[in-house]
Structure 1
Amino acid sequence: MEQWKVNLIVLWFGQFLVMAGMTMIVPFLSLYLQNDLGLQGEHTIGTWAGLIFAGNFVTSFVFQPLWGKLSDRYGRKVMLLRSGFGMAVVMTLMGFATSPWHLLALRLINGTISGFNPASISLISSTTPKEKMGYVMGTLQSGAIAGTILGPFFGGIMADAFGYRPIFYITGALLFLASLLAMFTVKENFDKEKAQAIPQISVVQGLRELTKVPQLTALYAVTFMIQYAMISPMPLIPLFVQHLHGTAENVAFWAGFVGSVTGLSNMVSAPLLGKLGDRIGPEKILGIALFGSAILFIPQAFVGAVWQLLIVRFLLGIFLGGLLPTVNSLIRRFTPEGRESRAYSFNSSMLSLGSMVGPVTGGLISGWVGISGVFLISSAMFFLNFLWVRRSLYHSDGQSVIRGD
């Protein structure tokens, strides 16, 4: 088997396990705080749960560019293994926490040492044939999405079967095995002497350098918007589903179904749209996906039944599946040589920023305009992003910048 295919298979499972591990605590975090760590009172538990869940994204947003800089200097595989083995240890230690402070500190540390996903993307982009880039990026993205979707599901099942603490031990062991597999099977073509000969600049200087490329700025905005639009309505979905359902019976089931159906269609469409992008151009897929996403946020504000919301959000996931893989493919094309890992790390920071800002602003905005207004605002922001991307990726005559027309 060709090496790039081996890399893709191993890192797909790695992405899956990392994202599953990140989201596996969602169904039982509040119960873990209450039953094992002794917290009392809904407000206290809710506040700690929010801080602990967000802590990972806060430090990830700050430290991703640093790891990207080191990755460009010392190699992607080294950073990938650093993150994988480090998160395996931290995840295991979460099972030994005896207070909420311990869990918060470990989540902050986990975000600090994270970087498996951008390192995987950077390594894959440097070893994959150019004509396969869209397909490979889409396939790799499907692993992360599958982990995000199935993580809470597996977490809920294991919590019922084994209790809360063993889940952290199991997740840590799986991350360790995935990292061990990557250590022996994943290979990259990295010239350390050439990389270290490139003049080194600070993280801030690197950001300034990359944002001078207007296409990269637009692509980072796309990444933020994807995560923001996906996350901002999520805390409000259960209440919206309850309103549509008209009864409290089975609300949790339907809310979970509505929350996951977008990810399911996203997981299926990502490799297919990536492959189509290899044939017709990733910039075209990006434009279609942005415009389609903008359109499909609108009917969510006007649905009158849960089944209607399910259909619309399933269709939305199809278009969302064309966004991140295409963005990753385009970032590789526009990034100056020797700065690839740094470019992907900044993109990962934008994902973390969307995860932090989305739930907070979504809740605030809904207080003024309701959840229907949140959907409409997301639609407007996607449409503006579509116009920005068209302006950045195309000449005034509508021809692609990427192909040098």
Structure 2
Amino acid sequence: MNRWKINLIVLWFGQFLVMSGMTMIIPFLPLYIQELGVMNSEEASVWAGIIFAANFLTSFIAQPIWGKIADRYGRKMMVIRSGLGMAIVMTLMGFSQTPLHLLLLRMMNGLISGFVPAATSLVSANTPKERIGVAMGSLQSGAIAGTIMGPLIGGVMADLFGFRMIFYITGSLMFLATVFAWFFVQEQFNRKEASKQNDLSVLQGFRQLRAIPQLPALFAVTFMIQFALMSSMPQITLFVQHLVGNVENLAFLSGFVGSVMGISNMIASPLLGRIGDRKGSEMVLKVSLLGAAITFIPQIFVQNYWQLLIARFLFGIFMGGMIPSVNALIRKHTPEGMEGRAYSFNSSFLALGNLVGPTLGGFLVGWITIRGIFAVGAVMLLINLYWVHRKLKAFRNHTAAS
């Protein structure tokens, strides 16, 4: 088997284990906070929101620093560093005695995280250019599969073993993923040559990447994707309740709406990545942005649960084409030796979308309802489509002229 395929398979499982571990705590986080002594449910919900967001805040700050180090010393080192660090921190979360302990550990987890951007950078730099689309799509499907399965596995294990044991199991799985990456992932990387090229500070590196017009546009796509997804995500349960009423299986119905979108995303990502290798990632990105904006529209007008389910499934298909295409295009437009920084900055914008989306969505939903949030998401994606078209068209015109 080709080396790039072995790297892809190992890091697919690594991303699956990391993302499932990161999302396992979602179903029981407020309950774990109550176990730590916060018995008031409203206060526990506030703590849960702060603790959940803390990881994204520190990750947004730290990712560019790790990206600079990755470009200088290698991406495999960053995969191992982040995997081992998160395994330790996740295990320590099981020993928390107060919500403050858990908050500080979540902040630390954000500071040392970086498995996904490091894995993405490593795969992109060591995959033949003609296969970059399918590689990015397949890698994305691993992260999505982990995101889907994580809450389900976490809920089952919480019932079987209790809350604290989940952190110990999750830490062990992350450690296992790191060990596999250590032994089976190989990277073509010339550290001596890289040390000569990467003396730029983080700020200087960002300025250099920002000067390439296509990259800020692509970073913005990543932010918009996460913003569009996360701005409505916390309100989905209440929307489902509005559609079906106070039925006994409300939690299941709400969870299934999120799962069906993740399933279509997971299926579509490698398929659209393969199409990107044949027809061009730019075309797939534009079609995906347009399709995601269009499939937001029926969500505004749905009148029953099944209409919402179908609309979210279709929405997930087009979401599955965006991140892999963005990653492939980032690789195309990034100068050699700066891939780690480019993907880390992209990861920072992803974390920013995860942070801003739920916050702003929760603020706006009181004014315009969740149907209005869907409309805002559609408009933002269309604006982003126009911006990306202009920036990438300018690159093609410049290339043709030269």
TM-score bracket relative to the smaller structure: over 0.9
CA distance in 2, matches of 1:19, 1:44: 27
Provide the residue aligned with 1:20 in structure 2: 20
CA distance in 2, matches of 1:281, 1:181: 32
Measured after TM superposition, the shift of residue 204 of structure 1 is 1.4
CA distance in 2, matches of 1:328, 1:199: 21
CA distance in 2, matches of 1:138, 1:313: 20
CA distance in 2, matches of 1:41, 1:133: 50
Provide the residue aligned with 1:81 in structure 2: 80
CA distance in 1, matches of 2:105, 2:97: 12
Provide the residue aligned with 2:251 in structure 1: 252
Q: Deviations over 1:182-233 (max 9, x none)?
A: 1011000100110001151211121111111110011000000111111110
Provide the residue aligned with 1:185 in structure 2: 184
After superposition, the CA RMSD in angstroms is 1.4
TM-score, length of structure 2 as denominator length: 0.98
Amino acid at match of 1:382: L
CA distance in 2, matches of 1:72, 1:319: 31
Provide the residue aligned with 1:39 in structure 2: 38
Moved more, 347-356 or 204-213: 204-213
Provide the residue aligned with 2:352 in structure 1: 353
Tell me the SS of whatever aligns to 1:27: helix
Name the CA shift for 1:404/1:141 in 2 (closer, same or farther; >3 Å).
farther
Provide the residue aligned with 1:158 in structure 2: 157
Tell me the SS of whatever aligns to 1:322: helix
Amino acid at match of 2:17: L
Q: Percent identity?
A: 60
Name the CA shift for 1:378/1:207 in 2 (closer, same or farther; >3 Å).
same
Name the CA shift for 1:400/1:20 in 2 (closer, same or farther; >3 Å).
farther
Tell me the SS of whatever aligns to 1:375: helix
TM-score, length of structure 1 as denominator length: 0.97
Matches within 5 A, 1:222-371: 222-371=221-370
Amino acid at match of 2:88: V
Measured after TM superposition, the shift of residue 364 of structure 1 is 0.9
Measured after TM superposition, the shift of residue 404 of structure 1 is 8.2
Matches within 5 A, 1:40-55: 40-55=39-54
Tell me the SS of whatever aligns to 1:40: coil
Q: Deviations over 1:257-297 (max 9, x none)?
A: 11221111000000000000000011000000000111111
Name the CA shift for 1:246/1:342 in 2 (closer, same or farther; >3 Å).
same
Measured after TM superposition, the shift of residue 248 of structure 1 is 3.3
CA distance in 1, matches of 2:245, 2:397: 49
CA distance in 2, matches of 1:367, 1:349: 28
Tell me the SS of whatever aligns to 2:321: coil
Measured after TM superposition, the shift of residue 395 of structure 1 is 4.2
Q: Which runs of 5+ in 2 are unaligned?
A: none
Contact 1:283 1:400 survives alignment (8 Å): no
CA distance in 1, matches of 2:283, 2:96: 49
Q: Which runs of 5+ in 1 are unaligned?
A: none
Moved >2 Å (runs of 4+) = 246-249, 399-405
Tell me the SS of whatever aligns to 2:247: coil
Provide the residue aligned with 2:58 in structure 1: 59
Contact 1:20 1:148 survives alignment (8 Å): yes
Provide the residue aligned with 1:374 in structure 2: 373
Name the CA shift for 1:317/1:245 in 2 (closer, same or farther; >3 Å).
same
Contact 2:240 2:305 survives alignment (8 Å): yes
Contact 1:393 1:402 survives alignment (8 Å): no
Equivalent pairs, count: 402
CA distance in 1, matches of 2:118, 2:73: 12
Measured after TM superposition, the shift of residue 26 of structure 1 is 0.3
Provide the residue aligned with 1:393 in structure 2: 392
Contact 1:67 1:115 survives alignment (8 Å): yes
Amino acid at match of 2:19: M
Moved more, 270-279 or 359-368: 359-368
